Amino acid sequence: MPDLSSWLASRLAEVDQAQLRRRLRVVDSPQLTTVRQHGRELANFSSNDYLGLASDDRLREAALVAIDEWGVGSGASRLISGTQRPHEQLEHAIADFKSVEAALVFANGFAAAIGTIPAIVGKGDVIILDKLSHACLVDGARMSGATLRVFPHNRLQRLEDHLRWARKTHPLANILVITESVFSMDGDRAPLREIVELKERYGAWLLLDEAHAMGVIGAQGRGLAWECGVADRVELQMGTLGKALGASGGYIAGSCCLIDWLINRARAFIFSTAPPAAIAAAATAAIEIVRSEAGERLRDRLWANIRNCSAEAESAIIPVLIGDAGEAVAASERLLDAGFWVPAVRFPTVPKGGARLRISLSAAHTDEQINHLKNEVFREL
Ligand SMILES: *Cc1c(COP(=O)(O)O)cnc(C)c1O
């Protein structure tokens, strides 16, 4: 057996060979629409901070006030050392925002997924998920031990085939359909009304991940389920507080029974130290902004930026398909040289041969930044 480091060095060499090596880039500034990297200012098109709230003064202030009152660390998991008031306030704010009975906050969206899915379904049950579902949904589904079926992205006929199969071969099973509102690497939306109709026809439940829709889509930024008028028919509404909300954390929103069950069964909640109260306070401040007139103006501004970039875009994520991983990385490097940070996304985040540039837009981008970006990206194509 080789020693670990030399074994890993040869594995890394293979990753390099395939043009799939990932490296961290150090940034010396907050997530604004320009960031400083190695002393250079770059126009930032990499962040999911869609409304420009990640370094907003109101969120900073809420966090600072909470640090003064609560300190930094939370001590233990909430079941052990108690729920600090800001977490409870945040959960009320989420439930109210989503017009559901209750919500539960996790350390992040990833933890919400891997905590919730195995708590709801298990061996003998069936999960049917969209092929492009986020890694945390896939991992949660695998961890559950349920039988997995994957349908091609947004293909309703194939989803229905799986539902029919599941009902026939597993008559007593619970069936959970999993999809996203806005797909994180393609920026397109799920045909949600039709999916809700289908899951109801076959007596299945639906987990909808609103990570990229929360704050961006629907009245007050309530998400796609709200926009489609089916929010009260989606049993598990999931999302993150780390994207448009500019803070950090993940949530599940739904019925009181669902939340009480998760408090008792979601391992990523039970066995993990509660996030700092200051983060919860910042997220609560973000929800207030997102729901307000000021939030509406930010969304108008974001959608104007999206329209300026692309007539067909369905969200703030605009993929520019390149195909080859090495070429996508080279294109991203050339954009860096020109002063734009637009990440290249490669396998396994997207399928092999599907490498792309991923442009994320923010309400805070100026027309000038976007017009410059368009010129540079078109030059790449
Ligand atoms: C980012 C993301 C998550 C994970 O949320 P975090 O709070 O970043 O852990 C989950 N689902 C989707 C679709 C995402 O894009």
pLDDT in tens, 157-195: 999 999 999 999 999 999 999 999 999 999 999 999 999
Q: Is 162 a catalytic residue?
A: no
Pairing label, strands 175-180, 126-130: parallel
Rounded mean pLDDT of 1-22? 94
Res. 284: pLDDT tops 90: yes
| pLDDT category of residue 379 using cuts at 50, 70 and 90 | confident
Return the pLDDT at 90.
Answer: 98
| pLDDT category of residue 12 using cuts at 50, 70 and 90 | very high
Q: Encoding tokens for residue 119?
A: 């708590």
Q: Which of 47, 133, 144, 184 is catalytic?
A: 184
Q: Which atom of ligand 1 is nearest to the CA of 180?
A: 13
The per-residue pLDDT for range 338-374, each reduced to its tens digit, is: 999 999 999 999 999 999 999 999 999 999 999 999 9
Distance 111 CA to ligand 1 centre (A): 9
250 lines ligand 1 (CB under 6 A): yes
Rounded mean pLDDT of 76-86? 97
Task: Decide if 242 contacts 109 (C-beta within 8 A).
Answer: yes
Q: Encoding tokens for residue 21?
A: 């090596």
Q: Is 144 a catalytic residue?
A: no
Q: Is 10 a catalytic residue?
A: no
Return the pLDDT at 249.
Answer: 98
Q: Which atom of ligand 1 is nearest to the CA of 182?
A: 13
In order of their start, the domains of the chain are 20-50+316-380 (3.90.1150.10), 57-291 (3.40.640.10)
Return the pLDDT at 377.
Answer: 80
| pLDDT category of residue 295 using cuts at 50, 70 and 90 | very high
181 lines ligand 1 (CB under 6 A): no
DSSP string of 139-197?
A: HHHHHHTPEEEEE-TT-HHHHHHHHHHHHHH-TT--EEEEEESB-TTT--B--HHHHHH
Return the pLDDT at 378.
Answer: 73
Distance 10 CA to ligand 1 centre (A): 31
**Number of neighbours of residue 6 by Cβ within 10 angstroms:** 9
* Beta-carbon-side half-sphere exposure of residue 200 (alpha carbons within 13 Å): 11
- CA dist., res. 94 & res. 211, Å (int): 14
